[in-house]
Structure formats: structure tokens, C-alpha cells
Amino acid sequence: MENLRINSERLWDSIMQMGRIGATAGGGVGRVALSDLDRQARDLFVRWCEQADCTVRVDRMGSIFARRAGSDNARPPVLTGSHLDTQPLGGKFDGIYGVLAGLEIVRTLKDAGLQTKAPIDVVNWTDEEGVRFGSGTMASAVFAGRYNLDHGLTRADMDGNTMGAALEEIDYAGPEPVGGYPVAAFFEAHIEQGPILEAEGKAVGVVLGAQGQRCFKVTVDGEEGHAGTLPMVQRRDALVGAARMIDAVNAIAFKHQPHPVITVGALKVRPNSRNTIPGQVVFSIDSRHPANDLLADIADKMRRTCEHIATDAGLGLSFEQISHRNTIEFDERCSGDIRKMADRLGIAHMDIYSGAGHDACNLALCAPTGMVFVPCERGISHNEKENARPEDLAAGCDVLLHVILERAGTV
Ligand SMILES: [Zn+2]
């Protein structure tokens, strides 16, 4: 069993095949959650799992659980997986790797005729990216008990369509209750989405935790006016105010390097017309820091700075926190297992923190959880150019295989 390895070529081929669903002209994938393309990806995943002798269940948040039975199915399952949805201009690997690594593991066990004691569940969490409904990792959050089911199903997109209705539409509003049962452990394999492993020449990152995150919606209110007639001194230009605020919060990040990271990524200008002075601007702030108290300090600093700028310019301001996740520490035994198996397989590894949020951050609240990172080219992610090397993907999957085998126990 120590010599058991996954099939690297099959894993790569599956990732490439999945990447054709929603393939973009730039070589990436655009497969937003709960779209028809998401349905096609789910259907393919379900078919592959059934061919690998798994029994597929879908819960009420639409997450898919493919179970490879153990010899004692009363035992809590060992859970592994990630997400098949992508950014509108995303890559072939973010999330997909973790789901298909789980599938590759059950395929490998089937080929080897190996049975585990505990069952293994390969999971595809619904809507990790949160593109359409604005709240990423909601399905795993409901699973972990962070939110109730009703909260999850009633998340609405810009047009007022709910997640519940969208799940019905693609036929993935499953009957199973969401979570509420013991899980032996959850392991998620994922590309790093940062440049560290590649720079250090390590095939595997043992993820110790993920930094905290606070997101804000900032609304700046000024007054519309004619671009040709209103003198500069009489203007209350919301966009000029917003621009000063964006520059100021960016400067706050630079003042405290290497942490936090602060990003303003979305901006809505009303009326967004060439010759009307902007009357309102709504923009987003995403701030992340590995220390919870410092993340809170940064939030205060950003709020005070924006208030100051608004007052100076005679603008209205609403500075609203719309999401908050504390720093997550993963389970020490889980990360210890990942480290041990990488050593045993002779795979170069290092400890690392995750800059991004993942479904694993939710699962850590209800089950022992660990994450395996593999390098991606130049750390590029959320980008059509996202790329990873087959040998690194295989190394991460081999480590995951042995970690899961040990946790599930073999007959
Ligand atoms: Zn992801």
C-alpha cells in the first residue's frame, strides 16, 4: 500500500476535459456557479463518480457528495473535495483540482481493489466563488452551521433571483439535509494561488491556516450636475471623493507591509455619464490580515479616513461591513499527517498560510480540517492564464491519497 500512487495522466486529462466546459478564448474557464455550464460540469462529475462505483447524494444547498463505501459505513466519512465553479474569467485549476483529486483517489482505490474502513466522500461545494450571489463559500458555511439553510437559499443575485430558485433551475436542489452529521476529517487540495511554493521549489504546501478577511461596501453620495455649467468650487463630485478614499485605503496597506492586503475591485458610478458630474459611487473594499486584532484596527483606520475625506468634500458616506471572517487555524493533527505523508513519499514540502478563503475555512469550524497546496505558475489565479504542472498536481494528490487512507483506515 505504501507504493500506491495515483494516475497522474488520468488526473491531468480529467482536469483538461472539465476545462472544456465553459472554455474561454483566452485559454481559461468561465463557469459561474448555478449557470447551465455549472450544471454540465456537475453532470460530468456525477457520471465520473458513478463510474468509479460511488453513490451520489445532493444536499439542499446543491453540494454533491460522492461516497465510496467503507467496510463500516456507520463510521463518520472522511471528506475531501473543493469546487467546480469558477470566476467569469477564471482558470482550469482553482477548485477543480481539489474535486478531481478526490475523484482520482477513489478511482485509484477502485483500481487497486482497496477497501477503507470509513467511507470516503468526494464533495463539490456549491458556489465557492460567490460571483453571482455575492457570498462565496455559502454552501460549506451552511454545512458547518455558520448560517442556517434559509439564509443560504435566500441569497439573491442582482436581479433578485435566489440561490434556491437557481438550484431548482439547474436541477441540483437536492433532498439531503445540509451537514449536521459527524465528519472524521476534511482535506482540501488546492493550487496555492500565490507565488511562494514555486519560488521555494516545493511541490506541496502544508497549509496551517488562512488569514482573516473583512469586506466593506462604501457608498459616497454627492450631487449630479452638468459637466459644462457647474463651476468646480460648487461641485460635490462623488467620484473624486471616492478616488481619494481608494488612494487613502491603498496607502494604509502600504504603510503596514507585508500585511494587510487591501483591494478595491468593484466600482459603480451613478449615472456613469461622460458629461454629468457623478452623484453617487459605490465601491468595495476587501481587506485581509493574519492577525484578527490588527485586521479590526485597519477597518477602523479605513473608516475614519473615508469619513474625514467625505466631510472635507461635503459628501455623504455610508461605510458598511458586509462580511467578516476571522483567521482560521487548521487542525494540527491534519497538517501533521500531510507533513508526515509528504516526507514518507519524498515530496518537498513547506508550511504555508493561505491568503485566500476556501471552503476548508468553514469546515474547520465543524470537523478536523487540513489543506494541501500545490504551486501554480507565477502564482497567477483568478485569471485565464492560471496554470500548474502535472507533476505537482500528482504530488499533492499522492499526499492526499495517503493522508486519507490513513484517516479512513484500511481493511
Ligand atoms: Zn478555489
Sign for the pseudo-dihedral over CA of 136, 140, 144, 148 = positive
Q: Are residues 58 and 174 in the same domain?
A: yes
Q: Are residues 284 and 172 in the same domain?
A: no
| Overall residue count recorded for the chain in this entry | 411
CA of 197 to the centre of ligand 1 (A): 17
Q: Are residues 23 and 106 in the same domain?
A: yes
CA of 272 to the centre of ligand 1 (A): 33
Q: What is the CATH number of the domain that holds 170?
A: 3.40.630.10
Query: 3-state SS of the chain: helix, strand, coil percent to 5?
Result: 35, 25, 40
| pLDDT score for 194 | 95
Span 45-64, pLDDT tens digits:
999 999 999 999 999 999 99
CA of 191 to the centre of ligand 1 (A): 8
CA of 94 to the centre of ligand 1 (A): 5
Span 74-85, pLDDT tens digits:
999 999 999 999
CA of 138 to the centre of ligand 1 (A): 13
Kindly state whether residue 3 falls inside one of the protein's structural domains: no
CA of 98 to the centre of ligand 1 (A): 9
| pLDDT score for 159 | 85
| pLDDT score for 323 | 83
Using CA atoms, how far residue 254 sits from 139, 250, 302, in Å, is 34, 7, 13
CA of 290 to the centre of ligand 1 (A): 19
Q: Are residues 340 and 247 in the same domain?
A: no
| pLDDT score for 89 | 96
CA of 83 to the centre of ligand 1 (A): 7
Per-residue cell: 397 = 494528490
CA of 192 to the centre of ligand 1 (A): 9
CA of 285 to the centre of ligand 1 (A): 20
Using CA atoms, how far residue 148 sits from 79, 131, 165, 305, 391, in Å, is 21, 21, 17, 35, 40
- Tell me which residues have their CB within 5 A of the ion that is ligand 1: 94-95
CA of 223 to the centre of ligand 1 (A): 40
CA of 226 to the centre of ligand 1 (A): 45
Per-residue cell: 242 = 471616492
Q: Are residues 402 and 345 in the same domain?
A: yes
CA of 295 to the centre of ligand 1 (A): 23
Using CA atoms, how far residue 102 sits from 148, 317, 368, in Å, is 27, 47, 17
CA of 137 to the centre of ligand 1 (A): 9
Range of the domain at 221: 212-325
Domain count, the chain: 2
Name the domain boundary from 280, 297, 325.
Answer: 325
CA of 72 to the centre of ligand 1 (A): 32
Span 136-172, pLDDT tens digits:
899 999 999 999 999 999 998 878 899 999 999 999 9
Q: Give 199's contacts (C-beta < 8 A, 6+ positions apart).
A: none
Kindly state whether residue 381 falls inside one of the protein's structural domains: yes
- DSSP 8-state assignment for residue 254: H
| pLDDT score for 239 | 98
Q: Are residues 17 and 128 in the same domain?
A: yes
| pLDDT score for 1 | 82
CA of 125 to the centre of ligand 1 (A): 10
Where the chain has pLDDT below 70, the residues are none
Name the domain boundary from 286, 307, 325.
Answer: 325
Q: Are residues 195 and 96 in the same domain?
A: yes
Q: Are residues 285 and 359 in the same domain?
A: no
